[in-house]
C-alpha cells in the first residue's frame, strides 16, 4: 500500500564559498609595469590605484597635443577679428571678394584646427589615465597575474578582484536533481562544513546548461542572503535542498513498467484483486528508489514484482503486507 512521504527527499550538496562576482583587471594600453600597489589578499576600494605603467611616452604625447591645441587657439584668436572686419567691410565693397573669402576660410580652418587638437589632447589625457590600473569596485585581490618589470599587452590580465557584492555557494549537482525539477529560484540552506551552526539561506540563480566533461555534473550557483563573516572565500560548504513536494510516493524500481513508452504501474483493485495498468509521472530516478509525483493515491496497492508478466484484469494475490513497499 502506497503512502505519500517526504522522507529522503532532502538533498545534501557539498561545495564551496565563492565570490558572487569576480573581475579580471587589465590595462587598456600596452606597456611596462613600474608599480604594483597591492598583493593577493589585500582589501581595496573603488577608485584605488592598483598598478601603474611607465607613463613617460604618454606624458610626452600629452604635452605635444597640448602645445598643438594652444597654437590652434592662437591662430583662431588672430583669425576672428579679421573675419569680423571682412564681414563688416563687404557690404560697402571696401574689401575685395577674394580677400573676404580668404579671411572667412582662415577663420573656419582655425576653428576646425582647435576642435581637432582639443580632441587629440583629450585622447592623450585619457591614455595617460589608462597607464594607471584602478579598482572598479570594493573587494579583495584574489590573484596577481603579472609582476613589476613585466611588459604586458593591452587587455592582458594583471590582477583578479573578487567584488564585495555578496557571496555565492557553488555546488556540482547530479543530473537526477535536474530531472527531478531542480530549477533556478529554489531555496537552499547553506552551512559551513566545519561548523554546521554557521548557516545562511540562499537562492539558486544559475544552473550550468551542460554537464562537466569529466564529472558529468552541473555547476549550480547559490546567492547567499546576509552570509556570516565566517563564510570566507574557499570554505567548504554543505547545502540542504528541502523537499518541494511532501506528497511524493516512493516505489522500488521493480514496480515500474511502460505504457506507450511512458512510465506506468500495475494498480490492484481492492475488491476484485485484479490489476489495471496506470500511467504515472516520475519526478526522480535513483538506484533503489523511484519518486512518483502524480498518478497514484494514498492507500492504493501497487504490484512490485513480476510486473512484466501481468496483463489487464488479471487476478493477483498478496503474499504479505510487508511485501508491499509504501
Average pLDDT (90-116) is 90
Summarised one tens digit per residue, pLDDT across range 130-139 is: 999 999 999 9
**58 pLDDT tier (thresholds 50, 70, 90):** very high
pLDDT at 124: 95
Summarised one tens digit per residue, pLDDT across range 229-278 is: 899 999 999 998 865 554 567 888 888 888 888 889 989 888 888 989 98
Residue 251 vs residues 262, 263, 295: alpha-carbon distances, Å: 16, 12, 13
Distance CA(251)–CA(326), nearest Å, equals 7
Helix H, strand E, coil C: the string for the chain is CCCCCCCCCCEEEEEEEEECCEEEEECCCCEEEEEECCCCCCEECCCCEEEEECCHHHHHHHHHHHHHHHHHHHHHHHHHHHHHHHHHHHHHCCCCHHHHHHHHHHHHHHHHHHHHHHHHHHHHHHHHHCCEEECCCCEEEEEECCCCCCEECCCCEEEEEEECCCEEEEEEECHHHHHCCCCCCCEEEEEECCCCCCEEEEEEEEECCCCCCCCCCEEEEEEECCCCCCCCCCCEEEEEECCCCCCCEEECHHHCEEECCEEEEEEECCCCCEEEEEECEEEEECCCCEEEEECCCCCCEECCCCHHHCCCCCECCCCCHHHCCC
Asked whether residue 91 carries a pLDDT value surpassing 80, the answer given is: yes
Give percent of the chain above pLDDT 90.
56
Asked whether residue 2 carries a pLDDT value surpassing 70, the answer given is: no
Kindly report the average pLDDT of the chain as a whole number.
88
Asked whether residue 324 carries a pLDDT value surpassing 50, the answer given is: no
pLDDT at 178: 83
Asked whether residue 202 carries a pLDDT value surpassing 80, the answer given is: yes
Q: Which residue has the higher pLDDT, 113 or 285?
A: 113
Average pLDDT (290-300) is 81
Average pLDDT (286-310) is 81
**308 pLDDT tier (thresholds 50, 70, 90):** confident
pLDDT at 326: 44
Quote the cell numbers at residue 298.
494514498
pLDDT at 292: 82
pLDDT at 242: 67
Among all chains, which residue has been given the C-alpha cell 540563480? 205
pLDDT at 299: 79
pLDDT at 5: 59
Distance CA(164)–CA(230), nearest Å, equals 15
pLDDT at 1: 64
Asked whether residue 323 carries a pLDDT value surpassing 60, the answer given is: no
Amino acid at each position: 500500500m502506497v503512502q505519500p512521504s517526504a522522507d529522503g527527499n532532502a538533498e545534501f550538496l557539498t561545495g564551496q564559498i565563492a565570490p558572487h562576482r569576480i573581475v579580471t583587471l587589465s590595462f587598456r594600453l600596452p606597456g611596462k609595469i613600474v608599480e604594483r600597489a597591492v598583493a593577493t589578499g589585500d582589501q581595496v576600494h573603488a577608485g584605488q590605484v592598483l598598478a601603474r605603467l611607465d607613463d613617460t611616452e604618454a606624458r610626452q604625447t600629452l604635452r605635444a597635443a597640448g602645445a598643438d591645441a594652444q597654437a590652434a587657439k592662437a591662430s583662431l584668436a588672430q583669425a576672428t577679428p579679421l573675419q569680423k572686419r571682412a564681414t563688416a567691410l563687404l557690404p560697402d565693397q571696401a574689401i575685395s571678394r577674394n580677400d573676404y573669402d580668404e579671411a572667412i576660410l582662415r577663420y573656419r580652418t582655425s576653428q576646425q584646427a582647435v576642435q581637432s587638437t582639443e580632441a587629440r589632447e583629450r585622447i592623450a589625457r585619457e591614455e595617460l589615465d589608462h597607464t594607471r590600473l584602478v579598482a572598479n569596485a570594493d573587494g579583495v585581490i584574489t590573484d596577481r597575474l603579472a609582476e613589476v618589470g613585466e611588459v604586458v599587452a593591452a587587455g592582458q590580465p594583471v590582477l583578479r578582484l573578487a567584488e564585495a557584492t555578496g557571496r555565492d555557494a557553488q555546488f556540482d549537482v547530479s543530473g537526477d536533481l535536474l530531472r527531478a525539477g531542480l530549477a533556478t529560484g529554489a531555496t537552499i540552506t547553506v552551512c559551513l562544513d566545519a561548523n554546521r551552526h554557521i548557516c545562511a539561506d540562499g537562492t539558486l540563480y544559475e544552473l550550468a546548461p551542460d554537464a562537466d566533461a569529466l564529472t558529468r555534473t552541473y555547476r549550480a550557483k547559490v546567492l547567499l542572503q546576509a552570509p556570516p563573516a565566517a563564510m570566507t572565500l574557499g570554505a567548504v560548504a554543505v547545502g540542504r535542498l528541502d523537499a518541494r513536494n511532501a506528497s511524493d510516493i516512493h516505489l522500488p524500481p521493480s514496480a515500474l513498467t511502460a505504457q506507450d513508452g511512458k512510465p506506468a504501474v500495475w494498480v490492484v483493485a481492492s475488491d476484485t484483486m485484479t490489476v489495471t495498468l496506470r500511467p504515472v509521472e516520475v519526478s526522480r530516478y535513483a538506484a533503489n528508489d523511484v519518486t512518483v509525483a502524480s498518478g497514484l493515491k494514498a492507500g492504493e496497492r501497487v504490484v512490485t514484482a513480476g510486473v512484466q508478466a501481468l496483463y489487464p484484469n488479471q487476478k493477483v494475490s498478496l503474499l504479505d503486507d510487508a511485501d508491499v513497499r509504501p
